[in-house]
Each structure stands twice: as C-alpha cells, then as structure tokens.
Structure 1
Amino acid sequence: MSSILPETPAILVVEDDEGMRAQLRWALSDYELYFAGDRSEAIAQFRRREPPLVVLDLGLPPDCDSAGEGVATLREIMTIQPLTKVIVASGTEDRRNAQDAIGGGAYDFYAKPVDSDVLRVIVERGWNSYRLEAERDDRREGLAGDSGFDGLLAASPQMLKVCHMARRVADVEVGVLITGESGTGKDVLARAIHAWSDRRDRPFVAINCAAIPEALLESELFGHERGAFTGAFAQAVGQIERASGGTLFLDEIGDMPLALQVKILRFLQEKQIERVGGRKTVPVDVRVIAATNRNLRTMMQAGSFREDLFYRLNEVGLAIPPLRDRPGDAALIASFLLTTMSRRLRRPIKGFAPETLARIETYSWPGNVRELQNRLKRAVVLADRLYITVEDMDLCDGGESADALRLPTLRQVREEAERRALNRTLAITDNNIQEASRVLGISRPTLYTLMKTLRITRGPRLDV
C-alpha cells in the first residue's frame, strides 16, 4: 500500500440506469468518476484502476429486481482489495439488502432517490476512513524499521533490547550466537544482522545442521573433490565457500556432530577450509552467525559440545525471549501479519474482534511466533466474517469466559500495582504509617486516602 495518496480519489460507479448515472455524475462532480453497467464490466474496471471508493447499485442486470448480482460484485471487489470502501444503493424496498451488504463488507449505503448532500458526506467519510486505514497499514509495514531491522517486529522492552544489541554488533566482525526456543525468530534476527552489516550486498547462506544427515553434512559445508566418496563424480563447492564475502548462518548448531565441530573450529580459527577428499586449502572470508534452541552449556558439561567452539561462536550472545515473555509483541505481530496475509491471500478481513487481540496477548504460545503465524494463516483462509474471532484462531481451549479474555483497564492496572506496593510496604514497616509514607515518598494523609480508596486496613503488628 503506497503512503502517497491523491487529494481527490477516483470512484467507480456501478449503475446500469442512465438517469441514475446522470444524477450521480452531478452529485459527485468533484471526484474522478468511472462507470460500469454490470458485474463483469465493474470487475474489469476495478482490476484496471483499483479505486479506493465504489458506489454500487445492488440491482444489476441480468436480474435488476434481485440483489444477487450486486452482492456477488461486492464480494469479488472485497476479495480483490479488502481496503476498498463500497457504498451501496438502497431503495425503500431493498433496505434489508443494503444492510446485509454492509454485513458482507460494504462501508455504507445511500438511499434512493439520491440526496446529493448526504451522498457527498458518505463519500467524504469513506475516503477519510480509507486514508486512515492506508496510513495504518503503512505504519505496520514500517514497524520493522522501528526496531532497526526489516522483517523484525518488537514493542516489548525485552525484545527491543535484543534488537538494539544486534544492531550494535551488525558491523563488528564478531561471532554471534543466537539462542531461544523454536519459533522465536532466530533466523529472522540472523538475516537482520546480515542486512545491517557491511556484508549486506554479499551472500547470506543458511544451513540447518539438524536437517541434513550426519554423513552428508560435512560435504554440504566444506564441499568435496571428485572421487572423494562413492557418487562424487565432480567437484562440489560447499556452503562455506558459497558464503564467501558474506554471512554463513549455522542454524541448530547444537545438533552438529562432535567430529564435525572440530573442523568448524579450525575453519573459524584459520579462515580456510579443505574440501572433503582434497589436500589444498581454500581461503574464505565469511562471518558466522550460529543459533540453537538447546542449552549448549549443559551439553558442554555432558561432553556433547566442544567448549572451545562454544566460546568462539559466542563472542556475543543474543537470547531471544519466548513470545509469552514479550508483552505487547504478540498483538503487534498478529496485526502486522493479518494485514499482509489478508492482502496476499485476497481475503476481505478487516481486523480482529476485540476479545481476539486480548486472547492473543494472554495465550502462552508454546510454538512462539511460528505457531501464531500458522494459526493466523488458517484463520484468514477459513474465516467467514470480517473480523477474526477467537474461534477462528482456535484459541478457545481452557474454557475462558469472555470476561477472562478481556484486558484490564489502565485504572485497574494502576490500582493493582498500588495495592501490591502498599501491602508490601506496610508489611516491611510493620504497619508503621509514618515509616511507610516515608518509604513510599508520599504524605501520611495521602497514604491514608490511598488505603481507604483501595480498602486496605492495617494488619496486626509483627512481634519484635
């Protein structure tokens, strides 16, 4: 969605009656108008111009007495571009059809015969709404820049700290080890570091150490010479050489066999490799970023991961917290993904129901961002409403009531924080009001007022 919008929008008018067209042309003379008389012409015009506003008569040929063609046109327009504001025509006899159309995605309706002033107000309101939603989508698509990286979204202090650390090391030639649970976005962070480094114009080569059989992993990394093993009919360049000048991302490094860890350590120390079956050393200039969801320190103690390799890789460690420990990030990521998915999948989804965002924030997300992405994609494909519900995302497990899914207000959060602080301070000071007020930095009258408001009474004094 482009953030540059015209001052005066184009409007597609879908109307087969010539007299009504003339009235609409006069009523909307300040706008750039395009006309269509039936469904096929309307869709062709819409695909060619994609106007932000559509004025649609539901009674289209071949059956002008039925709303079927008009509703079908509406649905197709909303599938092509859900952001479009469709204003449907409503006569006295088909007011119910107009209301049903609004339930199907139409923005508003105007009554026949045409009241020019009313129609212009509806159109202006629709244009303002379109601009606000377009700007909102642009902000969402630009949110990655807020945390310093393309493709990386963060609002929580925990994740912003990781982002800031990553940006600081992006241009420094140090080994980076990214840790975190599966699905937290370790690969996204690695690509972001590469994108902000001096190597950004060189290759980024990723290899999953857990996805390749042990017998093939060495050849995949270092390459091989012709005849090195059965089936090696020609020389092959490994992924380390392919990444020369750029970044090599070793994902799931904790699954690398011990024997191969020795060769990786030698490569990191000497900046050169030998292909399998070869004797000639090949110099390589590669930055290595590694990632794992395993506890490498525990593996070192068990003897399954080399300590010297760990410290070579972990010159700077970045630990990505799980999504459940990143307040605000789940809703932020979900909103961004919904915008991009609904557009890519051409689904007329406008947003989330309020209780859905609340549930997204309170759900534990054991699969982290990957689980959120999968659940949301399924919801976008299968949802039959304009707003994604808790049921669409299959987040109803646990039997929570609607009240349990509702986020607390700021007042409730503040009162709860004040209640905890007062109770803790009174306990520490043994219910001594003067001392409690001093610790809290407030006057005694203010403390008494807070205690009364929060219904806090002093308990028995502690035995000294």
Structure 2
Amino acid sequence: MQTSAKILVIDDDAVARELLAEALRKEGYEVEAFADGAEAIERGRKVPVDLVLTDIRMGAMDGLTVLREFKKFSPDTPIVLLTAFGSLEGAIEAMKQGAYDYLAKPFKKEEIKLVVRRSLEHGRLVRENARYRAELRDREEWSQMVGSSPAMLEVYKLVARVSEGRSTVLLEGESGTGKELIAKAIHTNSPRRDKPFVPVNCAALPEALLESEMFGYEKGAHSTATSAKPGLFEIANGGTLFLDEIGDLGAALQVKLLRVMQDQEVRRVGGTSSVKVDVRIIAATNRDLAGLVREGKFRDDLYYRLNVVRIVLPSLAERREDIPLLAHHFLRKYTGGAAHPVKGFLPETMALLQRYRWPGNVRELENAIERAVSLSHGPFVVPDDLPEAIRHADSIQEEKPASKDAPLEEELLTLDEVEKRHLIRVLKETKGNKVRAAKILGIDRRTLYRMAERFGIDLGEESDHR
C-alpha cells in the first residue's frame, strides 16, 4: 500500500466527503477534503497530488471541469469520478476526458479502496485513455442506455474502451438485453461512424439465402439472380457489420465467414474473383457459444476470431436496481403521445415491476410500460394496468415485511396523499439520495424540495417516514 500518497477528495456533500476522507486516512493516505472544486484545483497547483477523487455533480464547479483543469497542469495525476448518476453518457464522457475510473454512489468501502490502490499504481494509464476522446456524434443512441447498476457501469466502460479500436467484439446476453443497441453505440462512437452500420440476423433466413445476403452473388448464380448484387460485407465496407444470433450460423457459412475475416476479402456466390473489404465485425448471441464449440456445433477457430473482446450484457434480474430508472425512462417515452398525462407509478405497481423475473429483459419491460400507458386512466400507473403475468408473478425472493404505509387503505385517497406516499417510497428506495429520487420522479431537485415542504417531509430525516 502506498501510504505516503497525497489524495484530494472533492464533494459538496459534507457527510459523503468526510466519510470518504476518513476511510482513506485510516488506510494511511494523506488526504485533504474540499467542498469546492476551485479550492482543490488551487491546492493542486501548489503541491504534488497523487490522486483526485471528485464528485461529478456539484454546485459551483462540476467534476468534469475539475478533471479538465487538473489535466492542464498535472496530466499524469489519475482522476476518479464519483456520482449518484450512472449512465453511458457519463461513463463515455469521463473516459473521454481522461478519467482513470468512474464509480456510482453508493459504493462499498472495499470497492473504493481497491480503485484507489489501482489508480495510484497505474497513474500513467491516463495517457492510454486518450483514445476515449472521440466526439460523440449520436447522443440519442447513447441516451437510450439507462442504468446505474455496477453491472451496467462495467458494460459502459468496456464500450468506451473498445469503441476507438477495430477489434472484433462478441456481445453475449439473453434476448432483450440490448445487444444491438450496444453494437450501434460502439459504431457511432468509433472512427467508422460516418460509414454504414449493417445489421443481419443469422437466424432469420435460410442458409442459402443468408449466404447470398452476406456475400452477394453474380448474375446467373441461381435461378432468381437476374443481375449481380453486392452482399452485406461490401455494403458495410469501411463500417461495421453486426452479426446477430451468430450461434445459429450453419457450418458451411462458418467456414466462409472465417475465410473473410482472415483474408479481408469476399467472393460473391457464383463469382470467380474476390473483393477487398474493410469491415469491423460485432457479433452477438444469446446462446452459450463456448458450449457450442465443446459440442462440435461451432468452429473453435471462428469462435477465437470472434471472441477478441467479449462483453456480457447482464439480464434485468441481475440489474434489478435499474428497474425504477428504466420504468420511468419508458414512461416518459410513451407519455409523449398519450391522450392523458401519467405522472408515475403507485408504490404497489413499482413493487410488482421489481419482483417480476423479466424473462424478456428490458424489451419486455418496455412493452409492459407502453401497455400500461395505453390502459392507464389516472395520473399514476396502477397494478391493473400491468400484464397479468407481472401482476400474478411469484416473488423471486422472500418478500420483505411491508412497511406500515406501503399498502393503500381500502378507502379512496386524495391525489395529494397518493403523491405523498409515492414520494416517501421513492426516497426509501433511493436511501434518501435526493439527486436519484428527483431523477426517478422526473423532476429537478428544487421541485423535489418544494414537494417535500408541501407534504411536511424533512429531506434530511427520510428515515422518520419508513
């Protein structure tokens, strides 16, 4: 352990700042804590600093500004960004600016200690992060990725690191976890962004037709080939070819795909000459590709060609803490054209969403929210608006004892009472984190404070309402 290291901690939340500083001091580090980014920058100009830990969202100066300023006069000092908001945009922006790491609050003490040790040992790694500085061209694509769970943050960081390269990427995950969305995100943040992104589903077409689609054909190659047609490899030249459901590719096409990847040239069906192509391949599967190799159903040499960089997308059950964020994201998406406004979810509704197993993952959740918005007749989504499978699903774990205010009484409630109870529930779910609570509710922090004042809720004492 590097006990002599000098660390600056920056956070405008006094409690979070002092807890983190004290934990690092107990590890033997020399720690100075600041509530203001400008003061920390001034200190960093005067004394050598080994590491900076800074919150992203602060009042006068945000963490990304702190990061940029430190890079101007101390480019080798590793910066670790901390935030209550975990998002793909945040991870990309952090890595692009040269951050060593990016962690979401609340984090475990052991986790932050490990990151601190690694960042101190590899301070010069910031120079390798220069490849993350590509300007995002399609923020709409990134903004569709929602989630702040540790599992998703790891995905975001892998996407950030791999986008600038040309290595083949293998995406693994259950159906509905967003594999094509991740593939598009890699493409749109890569140097190939201005070239085509061409998707093909390897399970959607018969093998003969898929071969013609992928590699093209010459006139007369088969009965319907009245003229020559370029294949998807030629169409994607200079860009990215996304091979979805690669595990369903037949043996003959596996051989041909391997040859194209090795030689970087393609021969059309019925053709005698080859065409040079420059295509980055991103493959995806919801099957155990390594298992298929062991069973002799998938070529091992092709598997190793595809499995250069492997990104495993977590199922929704593995990122259950993201369900409220995703639910509200889809609610905002589908209330835009709704005939009546829907403000949010009753506590009972959100509880059902969080305990369901979600075999269809994020895609199934989106469909459920779209249906709920269509059926809802009030300001909140109620349990009856959800599909029957979700309403009657068994809990995946032993249910926690219901809090006193969790169930609604049998009598009708006023809208204010419903809003109050929903606010209290969101505050509980976020453990009193006002920034995350405001995000889930779809309001800014100022509105959150006004709502709390109207309902007599002390935001500094949320535990009184549990």
User: For 1:205, what is the secondary structure of its paired residue?
Assistant: strand
1:278 maps to which residue?
A: 271
C-alpha offsets along residues 236-295 of structure 1, whole Å, 9 cap, x if unaligned? 111111111111000000000011001101111111100000011101111000000000
Name the CA shift for 1:262/1:351 in 2 (closer, same or farther; >3 Å).
Answer: same
2:347 corresponds to 1:354: yes
2:330 match: secondary structure: helix
Partner of 1:397: 392
1:404: how far off? 5.3
Deviation at 1:369, TM superposition (A): 0.6
User: 1:312: which partner in 2?
Assistant: 305
2:178, 2:362 within 8 Å by CA — same for their partners in 1?
yes
1:139-178 equivalent positions in 2, closer than 5 A: 144-148=88-92, 149-178=142-171
- Higher relative CO (Cα under 8 Å, sequence separation at least 6) belongs to 1
Q: Distance in 2 between matches of 1:298 and 1:185?
A: 22
What are the superposed Cα offsets for residues 376-433 of structure 1, whole Å, 9 maximum, x if unpaired? 11111111111111221133204779965967986999xxxxxxxxxxxxxxxxxxxx
Q: Which residue of 2 aligns with 1:380?
A: 373
- Paired with 2:371 and 2:205, the residues of 1 have a C-alpha distance of 29
What letter matches 2:242 in structure 1? F
Residue 236 (structure 2) pairs with residue 230 (structure 1): no
1:402-421 residue pairs with structure 2 within 5 A? none
Q: 1:409 to 1:403 in 2, by over 3 A?
A: farther
2:196 equivalent in structure 1: 203
Length, aligned pairs only: 274
1:335-346 map, 5 Å: 335-346=328-339
Rounded Cα–Cα distance in structure 2 between residues aligned with 1:321 and 1:183: 10
- 2:211 pairs with 1:218: yes
The DSSP-based 3-state class of the residue aligned with 1:294 is coil
Q: How many Å separate the matches in 2 of 1:412 and 1:205?
A: 40
Q: Distance in 1 between matches of 2:360 and 2:268?
A: 38
Contact 2:88 2:156 in 1 (8 A): no
CA distance in 1 between counterparts of 2:402 and 2:297 reads 45
The structure-2 alpha-carbon separation of the partners of 1:328 and 1:147, relative to structure 1 and needing over 3 Å to count, comes to farther
CA distance in 2 between counterparts of 1:312 and 1:411 reads: 44
> Root-mean-square deviation (CA), in Å?
2.7
Superposition pairs of residues 61-140 of structure 1, within 5 angstroms: none
Distance 1:317 1:341 in 2: 33
Contact 2:170 2:309 in 1 (8 A): yes
Identify the residue that residue 437 of structure 1 maps to in structure 2. none
Q: After superposition, give the CA deviation of every residue in 1:1-28 in whole Å (9 maximum; x if it has no partner).
A: xxxxxxxxxxxxxxxxxxxxxxxxxxxx
What's the CA shift string for 1:16-74, capped at 9, x where partnerless?
xxxxxxxxxxxxxxxxxxxxxxxxxxxxxxxxxxxxxxxxxxxxxxxxxxxxxxxxxxx
Contact 2:200 2:242 survives alignment (8 Å): yes
Once the two structures are TM-superposed, the CA of residue 334 in structure 1 deviates from its matched residue by 1.2
Task: State the one-letter code of the partner of 2:181.
Answer: V
CA contact (8 A) 1:347 1:381 kept: no
Counterpart for residue 92 of structure 1: none
Contact 1:185-1:369 within 8 A present in 2 as well: yes
CA distance in 2, matches of 1:293, 1:411: 31
Cα offset, 1:213, TM superposition: 1.3
Q: Which moved more, 1:152-161 or 1:395-404?
A: 395-404
Letter in 2 for 1:160: L
Alignment partners' CA distance in 2, 1:164 and 1:251 = 22
Q: Which residues of structure 1 form unaligned runs of 5+?
A: 1-140, 414-464
User: Which stretch of structure 1 is more off in the superposition, 175-184 or 385-394?
Assistant: 385-394
Structure 1 residues 192-201 or 246-255, which shifts more?
192-201
Gaps (5+ residues) in structure 2? Answer: 1-84, 93-141, 407-424, 432-466
What is the distance in 2 between the residues matched to 1:411 and 1:296?
37
* Larger Cα-atom Rg: 1
- Please give the alpha-carbon distance, in whole angstroms, between the structure 2 residues aligned to 1:345 and 1:411: 27
**Does structure 2 retain, via aligned residues, the 8 Å contact 1:177–1:317?**
yes
Matched residues in 2 for 1:147 and 1:344: separation? Answer: 31
* Cα deviation 1:73-120 (Å, max 9, x = unaligned): xxxxxxxxxxxxxxxxxxxxxxxxxxxxxxxxxxxxxxxxxxxxxxxx
Moved more, 177-186 or 404-413: 404-413
Deviation at 1:358, TM superposition (A): 2.8
Quote the Cα distance in structure 2 between the aligned partners of 1:182 and 1:313: 19
Identity of aligned residues (%): 46
User: What is aligned with 1:190?
Assistant: 183
- Match in the other structure for 1:262: 255
1:294 lines up with 2:298 in the alignment? no
Maintained 8 Å contact 2:88/2:153: no
Q: CA deviation at 1:366?
A: 1.1
Q: Distance in 1 between matches of 2:197 and 2:238?
A: 9
Report the alpha carbon displacement of residue 146 of structure 1 after superposing the two structures with TM.
2.8
Q: Taking structure 1 as reference, are residues 257 and 367 closer, same or farther at Cα in structure 2, changes over 3 Å only? A: same
Change (3 A) 1:412 1:248: closer
| Superposition TM-score, scaled by structure 1 size | 0.56
TM normalised by structure 2 equals 0.55
Q: Cα distance 1:347–1:273, how it changes in 2: closer, same or farther (>3 A)? A: farther
**8 Å contact from structure 2 (residues 86, 153) kept in 1:** no
Could you tell me how far 1:200 is from its partner in structure 2? 0.9
Contact 1:150 / 1:192 at 8 angstroms: preserved in 2? no
Tell me the alpha carbon deviations over residues 209-258 of structure 1, each in whole angstroms, 9 at most, x when there is no partner: 00111120100000000000111101011111111111100000000001
Give the AA of the match of 1:146: G
Q: CA deviation at 1:327?
A: 3.2
